[in-house]
Structure 1
Amino acid sequence: MRCALNIAYNGTYYLGSQSQTQTPNTILGNLQKVCIQLGIYSKIIASGRTDKGVHATGQICHMDLPSFWNDLVKLKKVLNEMLPTSIRINTIIAVEDNFHARYGAKQRIYRYILKEGLSNAFENDFVTFVKELSFDELEKNIKLFRGEHNFKQFMKTGSDVKSTTRVIYKAFGYRHKGSIVLHFKANGFLRSQIRLMVGALLQLNTEQIKEQLACKNSYKIKPAPSNGLYLAKIKY
């Protein structure tokens, strides 16, 4: 039986989500290790990878279960008991055999959380603090990313992709309980694209962002820190 897992995790102390041969200290590395202990040897496939320090509230994975694991309520309970407390299984549901967490994804939603002022020990792992910023400028400039664009200037070097064109359906910012939340919804994102877009919003002016987006000029952008980024939802 193929099942889909909805997973939340605090990525602070993990080296990204994807399993790696060099280290077991990844989100899927920990999940795979626990599954093997439970007699589940299927490779776990995620909707996409998140970088070191990036969090998720709704990452989706799929895996195939042996016949003796037919109680998904019990499986969820056991997994959450065995996994580190920084990784939680929200739901497990049975899906069609041809369901694919990565290739079947139609839309991906991310949020980036900013706060103005000095960092503090209790929020620093989950919020990017900026000494001062203009919400009005952010609110105006984030809308520039909407629509279909060639995002090759907003991609980490060394990426191997067939196309750098993506469609962003929604891009907006709003205030929430003292924070500024940036919301991005697209058909897909390039490697570090969101962190580079947020970096552009914090470092470039309106005309510079337009030039970078139109590939008319190339400004050096420092990616926004990973700790403020959350994979929120995957739509199929």
Structure 2
Amino acid sequence: MKRYFIYLGYNGKNFCGWQIQPNGATVQQSIETALSTLLRKPVSVVGAGRTDAGVHARLMVAHFDWEDTIEDLAFLTKKMNRLLPKDIAIYQIVPVIPEAHARFDATSRTYKYYVTTQKDPFNYDFVYRISGKPDFEQMNEACKVLFDYVDFTSFSKLHTDVKTNICHIYRAGWEKEGDSDVWVFTIRADRFLRNMVRAIVGTLLEVGRGKLSIEGFRKVIESKNRCDAGTSVPGQALYLVDVTYPEHLFNS
């Protein structure tokens, strides 16, 4: 069997997340259906993560196996893009070593979350509009606290099936996007828990609004209790933007 990585992006507005669900359209289901149609045999796809309903991906990676070498991957990419709905785009398909795994071999994942204080009829589906302007400098000070910890149980959705809540965060911070009134939170880590980014953003907004001190933010993490953290922000402003892998996986 030959293994391939698919690099793709999608607008998550009309999907119930990445993972196949019993009721509702998902990105994984769409990719599997397109591949199975074109290759004329059932094909299973494994993604680098499980984005929730409404969450977008500027870059997602998934893998699939095929019984033989696919000679023209550019042609398969083109055919898939014709078959898939307009809110999913395949960027490229590349061969990898048979042991490569889109989820378990990822060395880092990067997410971005967008907020704004201005009403805009053209971006309300993709940016979270907040009331008032929080103190982003204070929120960035709170972000530094994240690097002191690896157990982020306080920011995890309850009753998940993961074996550990340990994550290593490499980057976290807020930046203003050009001259606009949009602020972007960027976070990169080796892995993320269910709902983790949205819970962190919701808690950081409490810091920015003066409802939670930086020391209080630290105590939220140390409590390892989801009930102590802030409310999760909506999914429509969250984007998976990058997934990285070791180079040796591509020496197929």
Give TM class, smaller chain.
over 0.9
Structure 2 distance, partners of 1:190, 1:5, is 23
Contact 2:114 2:183 in 1 (8 A): yes
Code of the aligned partner of 2:107: K
CA deviation digits over 1:63-100, x for unaligned, max 9?
01343742100000000011011000111111111111
How many Å separate the matches in 1 of 2:59 and 2:118? 28
Structure 1 window deviating more from structure 2 (130-139 vs 152-161): it is 130-139
5+ long unaligned stretches in structure 2: 246-252
Q: Which residue of 2 aligns with 1:32?
A: 32
* Separation (CA, whole Å) in 1 of partners of 2:229 and 2:196: 14
Do the aligned partners of 2:152 and 2:224 also contact (CA within 8 Å) in 1? no
Higher strand share: 1
Mapping of 1:1-20 within 5 angstroms? Answer: 1-20=2-21
| Percent of pairs with identical residues | 30
The CA RMSD measured in Å over matched residues stands at 1.7
Amino acid at match of 1:143: K
- For structure 1, which segment, 139-148 or 4-13, has the greater mean C-alpha deviation from structure 2 after superposition? 139-148
Moved over 6 A (4+): none
What's the secondary structure of 2:157's corresponding residue? Answer: coil
Instruction: Count residues with an aligned counterpart.
Output: 234
SS of 1:12 mapped into structure 2: helix
Change (3 A) 1:202 1:14: same
1:189 to 192, 199, 212: 192
Residue 165 of structure 2 corresponds to which residue in structure 1? Answer: 164
Give 1:138 deviation, angstroms: 2.1
* Paired AA for residue 30 in structure 1: S
Q: Which residue of 2 aligns with 1:224?
A: 233
CA deviations over 1:168-206 (Å, ceiling 9, x no partner): 011111111322111111111110000000000112422
Question: Which position in structure 2 is the counterpart of 1:234?
Answer: 243
Q: 1:131 to 1:59 in 2, by over 3 A?
A: same
* Structure 1 counterpart SS, 2:93: strand
Q: Alignment partner for residue 215 of structure 1, among 201, 223, 245?
A: 223
- Return the TM-score normalized by structure 2: 0.87
Distance in 1 (CA, whole Å) between partners of 2:88 and 2:224 is 42
What whole-Å deviation, never above 9, does each CA across 1:127-184 have from its counterpart, x for those lacking one? 1111222222222222221243211111111112221121101111111132211111
Equivalent positions of 1:34-183 (< 5 A) are 34-38=34-38, 39-67=40-68, 69-118=70-119, 120-132=120-132, 133-177=134-178, 178=180, 179-183=182-186
1:87-114 Cα deviation digits (max 9, x unpaired):
0011111111111101111111111111
Matched, 1:201 2:204: yes
